[in-house]
Amino acid sequence: MDYPKISIVTPSFNQAEFLEQTIRSVLDQNYPNLEYVVIDGGSTDGSVEIIKKYADRLTYWVSEKDKGQYDAINKGFSHTTGDIMGWINSSDIYYPWTFHILAEIFGSMAKVEWISGMHTNLSTGTAPQSIDCARQKNIYDIVGGKYKWLQQESIFWKRDLWNKAGGKLDLNVGYAGDLNLWLKFFSNSCLFYVNTILGGFRYHDVRRGNNTYEIEAERLFRDFKSQQPSKIKRRALLVKAVVSKSNFLKRVLKKLKMIDWYQHYNVYFDYHENKWLTRIH
């Protein structure tokens, strides 16, 4: 098996309570071709001492004042060269099989440029308390208003797609920088969904965002929608008017080839062929 290089960044600031679990969820996978960068914003809660414990296994780390989470992520990715990219915040985790699944999928499927696993949530430990099947989305769903939510911890992409989207996160977006990136990705490539768990989001008292995130996300959505060509807007309206109301009508229209372009994309494992395959529906 080939092991494509995977580049992961963790931005952190005063998250000592969970930081070690995050770091170990990356390093304990023992993936043989990993770049792992930790960018700390000058923590004073013992985070630096935790990072130093693993310094010899990190590609790069620093603890210094920055301009916030997305500045730290940009800084981190500037120290990486891997073909597959993702970031994990300093209270969230990956699962022990995540990187090997990424290697199998991205290493064998040239047309897959970004993927999302199933959404999982946790609290204090490293085991998921809930698992949700992600509601599949394409650009017509997004333009039609179904932009909530993609779980950042479960999303990975190829560097070529990152470069097409500008090669950095927009620092003018303070909270919903991840959604801003996904919208750019949707303009360039189809999102493939994988029916397994890859990353977990931790609920805790000091997590960022909440209402501020949602307000910013709504603005980003409106801007994104306004920039789309008329053809995409018309198709999004048809999807919203028809598909959401009647599965029977959806099947009829598909049979008549009226909404053949309305497709979602999956990656699934075929146990007969013993390999990952793509499915469009």
The CATH homologous superfamily to which domain 6-280 belongs is Spore Coat Polysaccharide Biosynthesis Protein SpsA; Chain A (3.90.550.10)
pTM exceeds cut of 0.85: yes
* Domain limits, the chain: 6-280
The answer for 30, left when phi > 0, alpha when psi is -120 to 50, beta otherwise, is left
Residues pairing with 280 in the sheet: 265
Question: What is the residue type of 173?
Answer: V
Q: How far is 102 from 108, CA to CA, in rounded Å?
A: 10
pLDDT in tens, the chain (281 residues): 689 999 999 999 999 999 999 999 999 999 999 999 999 999 999 999 999 999 999 999 999 999 999 999 999 999 999 999 999 999 999 999 999 999 999 999 999 999 999 999 998 888 888 888 768 999 999 999 999 999 999 999 999 999 999 999 999 999 999 999 999 999 999 999 999 999 999 987 665 556 899 999 999 999 999 999 999 999 898 887 776 666 676 677 666 566 667 788 999 999 999 999 999 87
List Cβ<8 Å contacts ≥24 apart for 42-49.
Answer: 42/13, 42/66, 43/12, 43/13, 43/14, 43/15, 43/16, 44/14, 45/14, 45/15, 45/16, 46/16, 47/12, 47/13, 47/14, 47/15, 47/16, 47/19, 47/90
> H helices within 5-155, ranges in order?
16-27, 47-53, 69-77, 98-108, 139-143
Cα 244 versus chain centre, distance: 26
